[in-house]
């Protein structure tokens, strides 16, 4: 197996303890393929070395090194030169830091040397003295009778019985069991709505077993049991779907003027009204996207985009960037500051105030689990912008102000 985008993803999952048995075997097979892979993996999990690399990464531009790391190392070279071996290890650690930076920060922050690591990850700039914590798992469930329940990420308990469907909270997810309800031939439609506030996200397992992750400032309306010939839901904001396959009941999502039809697949819909385009991104399977009478079938790696004037466009996209939020990270790729700050505003529940025009564009991967100051510091180091936080306000200045 060659080194590709999947390897750092598997390493990240290993560090978080989230790999399936199949994924762990895939990673183990790659590690055992050759000695260079074993060395690379060992340095990816060397917390002390990564902590030092993180300090150095903040001090100077390592882009030339990182871009040529793997190419500069001949995996077949036998060497007893200790300095060369140390250099290779440092290059590997630096490469790993960029590839899985969000996971590395998470792992380092949870270890026994937490105080030492905190010095490398927490910004002490006076501009950020009023820091803002990241969002969390929280949502509001509106039942069929109009009553509401606040949800968090703790506890396992039954919440309600909706027309024969059992609704329960299991940690940070809401789970529906409609097995008993579906045995009732007189069953009528009843709907629930799950809504996330600014600074919130949540996960729901629908009555058919389909899974939906909601980003901040989003909602989904769905029946408490899927009866009839279709499975229909409505969303606002952003949601990632893993739909249970059922050829007899197509799954349909309505997001404004866009209709998405699937049988069983993984896809993401971004329909925030303050974004310039509504984007449906397909990761796995096949979907039909319909808007204003136009229909297009997407293949994995493609996105359907509809702008505010109704213009329909299909293009190849970076799927990992599209679902980065669901995996607890921000992926910026040549984004302008306004696009980035809209994401921060929703996740950190902050107000953005502009004091000048920032023309620079930004690229990078940053964890969503860190305080807002870490994100702002990353952007400042990239140049062209500086920030001041005042309570829940983030003031954006051009670099020369």
Provide the domain limits for residue 199. Answer: 136-322
Residue 244 and residue 274 share a domain: yes
CA-to-CA distance for 251 and 266, rounded, in angstroms?
12
Q: Are 304 and 279 in contact (CB under 8 A)?
A: yes
Are residues 243 and 157 part of one domain?
A: yes
In terms of domains, do 232 and 265 share one? yes
- Any domain includes 127: no
- 59 and 186 in a single domain? The answer is no
What is the per-residue pLDDT for 54?
52
pLDDT mean by block of 10 residues, the chain; 401 residues: 64 69 78 73 60 49 45 44 51 53 43 32 51 93 95 88 90 90 75 97 96 97 92 97 92 94 92 94 93 88 89 90 93 94 97 93 91 92 91 87 46
Angle between the N-to-C axes of helices 21-31 and 35-44, in degrees from 0 to 180, rounded to the nearest 10: 120
What pLDDT, on the 0 to 100 scale, is given for residue 106?
Answer: 42
Give the pLDDT of residue 163.
83
Domain-terminating residue out of 259, 293, 322? 322
Burial of 334 (0-12, 13-18, 19+ CB in 10 A): exposed
Pair 26, 115 in one domain? yes
Per-residue pLDDT at 66: 45
CATH number for 159: 2.60.120.1440
How many Å apart are CA 97 and CA 370, to the nearest integer?
Answer: 16
Beta strands in 105-225, from DSSP E residues, in sequence order: 136-137, 139-142, 148-151, 156-162, 165-170, 173-177, 191-196, 200-205, 211-214, 218-223
Q: How many CB atoms lie within 10 A of CB 224?
A: 25
Q: How many Cα atoms are found within 13 Å in the side-chain-facing hemisphere of 1?
A: 16
- Clarify whether residues 82 and 156 are in a common domain: no
Q: How many CB atoms lie within 10 A of CB 302?
A: 18
CA distances (Å), 387 to each of 11, 31, 293, 300, in order? 34, 43, 45, 38
3-state secondary structure of 179: coil
Domain count, the chain: 3
Cα–Cα distance, 367 to 103 (Å, whole number): 8
Q: In the block, which residue shows the tokens 């390897």?
A: 7
CATH number (domain holding residue 336): 3.55.50.30
Same domain, residue pair 271 and 256: yes
């Amino acid at each position: 197996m060659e080194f590709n985008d999947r390897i750092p993803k598997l390493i990240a999952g290993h560090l978080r303890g989230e790999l399936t048995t199949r994924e762990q075997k895939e990673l183990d097979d790659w590690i055992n393929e050759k000695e260079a892979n074993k060395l690379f993996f060992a340095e990816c999990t060397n917390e002390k070395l990564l902590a030092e690399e993180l300090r150095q990464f903040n001090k100077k531009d390592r882009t030339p090194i990182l871009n040529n790391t793997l190419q500069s190392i001949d995996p077949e070279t036998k060497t007893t030169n200790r300095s060369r071996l140390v250099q290779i290890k440092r290059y590997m650690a630096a490469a790993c830091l960029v590839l899985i930076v969000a996971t590395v920060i998470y792992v380092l922050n949870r270890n026994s040397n937490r105080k030492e690591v905190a010095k490398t990850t927490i910004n002490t700039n006076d501009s950020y003295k009023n820091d803002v914590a990241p969002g969390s798992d929280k949502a509001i469930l509106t039942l069929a009778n109009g009553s509401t329940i606040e949800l968090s990420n703790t506890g396992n308990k039954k919440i309600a019985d909706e027309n024969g469907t059992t609704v329960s909270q299991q940690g940070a997810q809401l789970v529906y069991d409609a097995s008993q309800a579906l045995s009732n031939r007189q069953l009528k439609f009843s709907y629930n709505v799950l809504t996330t506030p600014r600074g919130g996200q949540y996960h729901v397992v629908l009555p058919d077993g389909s899974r939906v992750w909601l980003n901040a400032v989003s909602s989904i309306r769905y029946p408490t049991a899927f009866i009839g010939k279709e499975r229909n839901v409505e969303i606002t904001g952003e949601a990632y779907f893993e739909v249970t396959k059922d050829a007899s009941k197509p799954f349909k999502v309505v997001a404004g003027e866009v209709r998405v039809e699937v049988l069983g697949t993984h896809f993401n819909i971004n329909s925030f009204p303050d974004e310039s385009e509504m984007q449906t991104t397909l990761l796995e399977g096949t979907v039909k996207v319909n808007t204003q009478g136009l229909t297009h079938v997407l293949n994995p790696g493609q996105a359907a985009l509809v702008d505010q004037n109704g213009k329909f466009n299909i293009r190849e996209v970076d799927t990992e960037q599209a679902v980065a939020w669901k995996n607890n990270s921000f992926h910026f790729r040549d984004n302008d500051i306004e696009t980035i700050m809209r994401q921060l505003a929703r996740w950190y529940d902050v107000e953005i105030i502009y004091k000048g025009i920032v023309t620079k564009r930004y690229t990078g991967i940053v964890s969503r689990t860190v305080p807002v100051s870490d994100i702002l510091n990353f952007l400042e180091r990239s140049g062209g912008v500086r920030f001041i936080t005042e309570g829940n306000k983030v003031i954006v200045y051009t670099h020369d102000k």
